[in-house]
Amino acid sequence: MEGLNILSYVFIGIGLFFNLVGSCGLHRLPDIYTKLHAATKCTTFGSIFIILAVIVQSAGIWAVEGDSSQSVMCIHVVLALLALVVTNATSAHAIARAAHRSGEKPARAVVDDLEKKEND
């Protein structure tokens, strides 16, 4: 159980670090596309690691102490992880397409190749 606790602390440290980096990137970066790049990818990665820490902890209690009520927790957390991974990537793509079609330009952009391609 001690080793599993240390593994959980390492996972949750990685997760919190990436969540903080993503939240600060939302403030530091200049335009919508770079903000999307920082915020979506970093917070998805960090949330995956936080959920992994919870999975390690609840599966460890289930396996070591034989507490079978933790099995519900473990399986439902895996379902939440699946929902989070699928929906985050898709919604980031939808936001990027919506921002481009509504006329948002990248910062300091000179040429936009996609615009010519969409008008044809």
Residues that bind other proteins (CB under 8 A): 5, 8-9, 12, 15-16, 19-20, 22-24, 26-27, 32, 35-36, 39-40, 43-44, 46-47, 50-51, 54, 57-58, 67, 69-70, 72-73, 76-77, 79-80, 83-84, 87-88, 90-92, 94-95, 97-99, 101-102, 104
- What is the distance between the alpha carbons of residues 39 and 24, in angstroms, rounded to a whole number? 8
Distance of CA 16 to the CA centre of its chain: 11
The least distance separating other proteins from the CB of residue 108, rounded to whole angstroms, comes to: 16
CA 45 centroid distance within chain:
4
Inter-residue contact 89 to 41 (CB < 8 Å): no
**Dist. CA 61–CA 33, nearest whole Å:** 42
In angstroms, give the least distance from the CB of 77 to other proteins: 6
Q: How far apart are CA 59 and CA 55, in angstroms?
A: 6
| 77 or 108: CB nearest other proteins | 77
Q: Quote the least distance from Cβ 3 to other proteins, whole Å.
A: 13
